[in-house]
Amino acid sequence: MTLRTLDSLGSLAGKRVIVRCDLNVPVKDGVITDDGRVRASLATLDAILTQGARVVVISHLGRPDGEPKDEFSLAPVAQRLSELLGKPVTFASDTVGDAAAEAVASLSDGEIVLLENLRFNAAETSKDADERAAFADKLAAFGDVFVSDGFGVVHRKQASVFELASALPSAAGLLIAAELDVLDRLTENPERPYTVVLGGSKVSDKLGVIGHLLPRVDTLLVGGGMMFTFLAALGHSVGSSLLEADQIETVKGYIADATERGVEIVLPTDVVVAASFAGDAEHEVTAADAIEETSFGSSGLGLDIGPETATLFAERIQASKTVFWNGPMGVFELEPFAAGTKAVAQALTEVDGLGVVGGGDSAAAVRALGFSDDRFGHISTGGGASLEFLEGKRLPGLEVLGWQ
């Protein structure tokens, strides 16, 4: 079986189409600070609205633990979605209650409503399949067909992702189709040289990806907090830097496996070490094998790759035809420790081939550092879903749409 796409649903004119988007954007004091996921949903919504459908958008935001909480309301998202679509977006103040029913019943062809946060209902994320199915049936009553387009949640067996796709004629939206196309290019016959850049805080979060991609890549660049577990695996002291001591033996195994396969693992040659975790902390650059030889001694914290490493990583990225990057190189939120991440992002914009920013913190970082989305080959909205795909795991939200 292959993925069911929008075309499989036939004409949507006059039909009520429920669209599961991933509008889980950061909101501070009622203001969206990064609307990337809202923008990513526009292509599918435009395609459906253009057909004259009546569109019911559903999404989650944050983790409200199954009850309504003002700070997790989708109201700001409805406003932003309206601005980006250039047309009114009605907002229903509940998900399957009277407000939602009235808003859906009032829709005319070509109009759109956004229902309140799915996760205000505990059944959405329940471990009980019957509870999820009952909630999905309530949602299904609002539609004639279902379009799943929230790639960031397809690795979750949740009511709006899994059971709803079985309750109505269903298909994947344009965003999911595009994400899968890119991920397929990263795993099946990628153009070479193929480089994967991994960062972020914990190596344990990336072990599955490393294991699954090692047979497929030419070069692996390692930065971020996870680099210290790799450095420790080589026998280097890392001061008070983030270290997962219980993963050292596993990392040693990956290093040996990479050597046997002829895959080059490139680790930082220099590191920015600070006295404390703060933007105004005293800091200095030192060799990666001499972290405890700084003026901070064993209390020093490595918070970014150094300038020599940033140049090295950039050169490797620019020389590649396929690059996948997931995880910042340092604490990019603090200006003194953002240079490594910025160098990697800049290099990725200069790839003569496919350069992919792997969602999550990486996507937030490139936007925070001033890069526009269109400078990259692809910015994934997936985060965890992308990583699980690259680990070779089965994703229930895709399988229910026919993906094998």
Q: Which residues are catalytic?
A: 37, 202, 360, 384
Handedness of CA 305, 306, 309, 311 (dihedral sign): positive
Q: Which of 206, 148, 127 is nearest to 383 (CA)?
A: 206
Q: Position of tokens 């993906």?
A: 403
109 is annotated as contributing to ligand binding: no
370 is annotated as contributing to ligand binding: no
397 is annotated as contributing to ligand binding: no
267 is annotated as contributing to ligand binding: no
Task: Measure the CA–CA gap between 175 and 188, rounded to whole angstroms.
Answer: 20
359 is annotated as contributing to ligand binding: yes
362 is annotated as contributing to ligand binding: yes
374 is annotated as contributing to ligand binding: no
Query: Residues with Cβ < 8 Å from 262, sequence gap 6 or more?
Result: none
Handedness of CA 351, 288, 252, 358 (dihedral sign): negative
Output DSSP code: residue 234. T
Rounded to 5°, angle at Cα 172 from 38 and 86: 35
Can you read off the two tokens belonging to residue 271?
């590191």
Q: Which of 200, 141, 131, 183 is nearest to 162 (CA)?
A: 131
37 is annotated as contributing to ligand binding: yes
63 is annotated as contributing to ligand binding: yes
28 is annotated as contributing to ligand binding: no
186 SS3 class:
helix
Q: Position of tokens 């599918």?
A: 44
262 is annotated as contributing to ligand binding: no
326 is annotated as contributing to ligand binding: no
β-strand pairing of 378-379 with 90-92? unpaired
Rounded to 5°, angle at Cα 176 from 137 and 373: 130
302 is annotated as contributing to ligand binding: yes
127 SS3 class:
coil
Burial, 134: exposed, middle or buried (Cβ in 10 Å; 0-12, 13-18, 19+)? middle
Say if CB 244 and CB 202 are below 8 A apart.
Answer: yes
Helical ranges in 121-244 per DSSP H = 129-140, 164-167, 174-187, 207-213, 227-233
Q: What is the 3-state secondary structure (H, E, C) of 62-125?
A: CCCCCCCCHHHCCHHHHHHHHHHHCCCCEEECCCCCHHHHHHHHCCCCCCEEEECCHHHCHHHH
β-strand pairing of 90-92 with 54-58? unpaired
23 is annotated as contributing to ligand binding: yes
66 is annotated as contributing to ligand binding: no
Residue numbers in the known binding site are 22-24, 37, 60-63, 119, 156, 206, 302, 333, 359-362
Residue numbers in the known binding site for substrate are 22-24, 37, 60-63, 119, 156
Residue numbers in the known binding site for ATP are 206, 302, 333, 359-362
Residue numbers in the known binding site for (2R)-3-phosphoglycerate are 37, 119, 156
